[in-house]
Amino acid sequence: MKYWRAPLDTDEIAVVRGKVYIINDRCKGCGYCIEFCPREVLEFSKEFNIKGYHPPVVKSDGCLNCHYCELLCPEFAIYTVEAD
Amino acid sequence: MEPKVLTGEHFINGDIACAEGAIAAGCTFFGAYPITPATEVAERMSERLPDVCGIFIQMEDEIAAMTSILGAAWTGVKTMTATSGPGFSLMMETVGLAVVTETPCVVVNVQRGGPSTGLPTMGAQADMMQAKWGSHGDYEIIAIAPSSPQEMFDLTIEAFNLSEKYRVPVFIMSDEVVGHMSEKVLIPEAKEIKTVARIKPKGRKDQFKPYQPGENGVPPMPAIGDGYNVHVTGLTHDEQGYPVMSVDTQKDMMNRLLSKIRDNLDDIIRTEEYLLDDADIVIVSYGVSARTAFTAVDMARQMGIRVGLLRLITVWPFPEEMIRDLSKRVKGFVTVEINMGQISREVQRCAGANAPSYLVGHAGGTVITPDEVIHLIKEAF
Amino acid sequence: MAKAKANQKVHPLEELIRTERLPHIWCSGCGVGTVFSACLAAIQETGIDHKKFSMVSGIGCSGRGAGYVKLDSFHTTHGRSIPFATGIKMANPSLNVIVFSGDGDLFAIGGNHFIHAARRNMDITVICINNFIYGMTGGQVAATTPHMDRSATTPYGNPEMPFNLPLMAYASGATYVARWTMIHSRDLTDSFVEAINHRGFSFIEVLSPCPINYGRRNKIKSLDMLKLFADNTIIKNNADPAELDIDFKKGVVLGKFVDIDKPTPDENYEKVCMMR
């Protein structure tokens, strides 16, 4: 995401970090979570799941726990929680 | 506000008596759509239901009327709708849903002449096969045929009781003549009226299977909000209520849906016999035509012909055994009904080669006269 | 949405899903699951006891929703979810009844029931997943298929015009009308919460992709469809319902269009008939 300018209180705000949980075998590989993740933390796995789809896998630790993947996933296959 | 049971002597027509029977049976939801000659049932229900904290709603068509009573039934209440031929045709889709989801409900068909719009203001008994086979697929239902306003009251209560007990739609197959005929109707005291309520499940909610058969092969039925989280579907389903598209599931489900009726025929079937013990010729009749048949029996007896009557109070399930047994000792059967041959075919099927079966029937419009019955008996035997 | 606890190893909607029935029947890329998920999230968010909910569906892909929700749920006949829901609501007004179904079910075979429930202001929530097609039967033209789009029964293009669903709902008397797409999942969930809490007939149209039976014939991949939902839509609350025709070239208007207060038939019945 690009900002016009950094907010003045950037240094004081604690950034929430999220942890992504993926229930591989529920995934049907639509790729919506990968495409629409605002932090682009997901990519297709090389592995197949039980149904023969490539589920997503976390490629970077930029997750901000926005839950968008969780909301968008039609399969209840992904969710995020606040990282400790 | 009137009480739930209008104990006393009344001079009312069959449609009104039917509505009073429903209220007395504990019906608290009626989904309506106006149609001649059944409209008076709806009108009476709209007036009476608020007295018993019941709901009357006039829906946008008969499909909706029938569907609404299924939804309401799952909240735990007793429900009814009333219609005639064209509306009965529209309801058939939902009858199938009621059968497969085992939703208790009572459907009144005040029959008129058909097909299509037919003879709205004149009686017929030509929807009898539709009651049995009108929705697609194999199924068993219960159909009752009242012969008088008094029976419209009594048998409506009976219909609710059977429906609750077996979780099956029960049809009251009346006709325009009985529906619009006014006679004395005796309404007993409330405490003398026997009513049956569906069996509710007990035990652990998380282990409950909505279609696991209980007593008589009928599963206990929870209401919405009881916390059982039931899933109810029109698809072929397993005991959990979940759709399973397999030959075995279809077989198991169908077997139980059929056997809960077929295994309890003694409890369900109701007939009346009149001078049947020594009869050579048996008249089989039901509904308004049975009234003709009683007179015809008396006339024939006066002429020295030994005629008896088997009146079907429940038409479906059909009393096959009874007809089969009679067929072994009588000269033949005469079925009296206002149609071109419906129940007469059932009689013929059950009698087989043992005894001939004849029809005294005509297209809708008028009742059959005793003379027509006598005429046929003289010609045929 | 429910806040998942740290280290929670189950999906936050798990308590509302019949997980033993997963995977659901919806194809890869189908939006019904997303809308369903938003609906469950909204149920959670209302904080209302789950026993006080009932979900009713008709027939079709979206109609399978009732089969996956861990509530008293009903999968009825084609087009009849609304009269079934009407029966439930009138017989027990304390229940929150959600109709979860598709465009073919609610607006072709069930169109008459829809307009009458809206006219009555029946206190139910109707969620219509509009995927522009009859998905389950293999992609035949629907009452919502855009003009000239291809389907299994319009191989040369759809010669007919589609419904404007929010306009129909408004004109019929609905007291809450909104439209979103499945990727606007936050607005969608908020809208569902509002609709559940709304007293009266609430209707939410949700545009959703059918990649197999609509997308394939009309040469649009599901991801491109979602991008269309994101880029070619305009959020305009209180827009004139007459101007809500769906045309992605012009931009499809989303938002909440109607939210008014009118008495409902259950409360009126009590006043008019029972307390007379």
What is the set of domains in chain A, with CATH numbers? 26-82 (3.30.70)
**B373 assigned to some structural domain:** yes
Could you tell me if C13 lies within 8 Å of chain A, comparing CB atoms?
A: yes
What would the pLDDT profile of C208-247 be if each residue is shown by its tens digit?
Answer: 999 999 999 999 999 999 999 999 999 999 999 999 999 9
**B200 assigned to some structural domain:** no
Which residues of chain B are under the pLDDT cut of 70?
none
Domain final position from B171, B192, B213: B192
Beta bridge partners of C205: C128, C179
**B1 assigned to some structural domain:** no
Residue C7 has pLDDT above 70, yes or no: no
Measure in Å the smallest separation between the Cα of B29 and chain C Cα atoms: 7
Domain co-membership, B184 together with B145: yes
Predicted pLDDT of residue A15: 84
Range of the domain at B12: 8-192
Contact flag A71-C226 (C-beta cutoff 8 Å): no
The two tokens of residue B89 are: 């045709």
Could you tell me if C41 lies within 8 Å of chain A, comparing CB atoms?
A: yes
Tell me what the mean pLDDT of segment C259-271 comes to.
96
Could you tell me if B79 lies within 8 Å of chain C, comparing CB atoms?
A: yes
Contact flag A71-C38 (C-beta cutoff 8 Å): yes
Domain co-membership, B34 together with B153: yes
Predicted pLDDT of residue B250: 98
**B259 assigned to some structural domain:** yes
**B337 assigned to some structural domain:** yes
The one-character DSSP state at C212 is: I
CATH code, domain carrying B308:
3.40.50.920
Measure in Å the smallest separation between the Cα of C94 and chain B Cα atoms: 9
Measure in Å the smallest separation between the Cα of C61 and chain B Cα atoms: 13
At A2, the pLDDT band (50, 70, 90 cuts) reads low
Predicted pLDDT of residue A43: 97
End-to-end CA gap in chain C: 44
Q: Given strand B307-312, what is the order of strands in its sheet?
A: B271-274, B307-312, B281-285, B332-337, B357-361
Domain co-membership, B215 together with B237: yes
Domain co-membership, B146 together with B12: yes
At C8, the pLDDT band (50, 70, 90 cuts) reads low
The two tokens of residue A30 are: 């639509």
CATH code, domain carrying B138:
3.40.50.970
Domain co-membership, B167 together with B58: yes
Domain co-membership, B148 together with B18: yes
Domain co-membership, B28 together with B154: yes
| Nearest residue, CB atoms, C92 vs list B64, B93, B225 | B225
The domain total for chain B is 3
Domain co-membership, B111 together with B180: yes
Domain co-membership, B52 together with B105: yes
Could you tell me if A81 lies within 8 Å of chain C, comparing CB atoms?
A: yes
Q: Which of residues 41-80 of A touch C (CB under 8 A)?
A: 51, 53, 67-68, 70-77, 79-80
Which residues in chain A are contacts of C33 at CB distance < 8 A? 73-76
Tell me what the mean pLDDT of segment C255-272 comes to.
97
Domain co-membership, B77 together with B149: yes
Domain co-membership, B226 together with B306: no
Domain co-membership, B52 together with B25: yes
Predicted pLDDT of residue C1: 45
CATH match of C31-274 with 3.10.20.30: no
Measure in Å the smallest separation between the Cα of C194 and chain B Cα atoms: 22
CB neighbour list of residue B316: distance below 8 Å, 6 or more residues apart: B131, B132, B140, B141, B142, B143, B171
Tell me what the mean pLDDT of segment C160-170 comes to.
98
What would the pLDDT profile of A4-62 be if each residue is shown by its tens digit?
Answer: 787 788 788 888 899 999 999 999 999 999 999 999 999 999 999 999 999 999 999 89
Tell me what the mean pLDDT of segment C113-129 comes to.
98
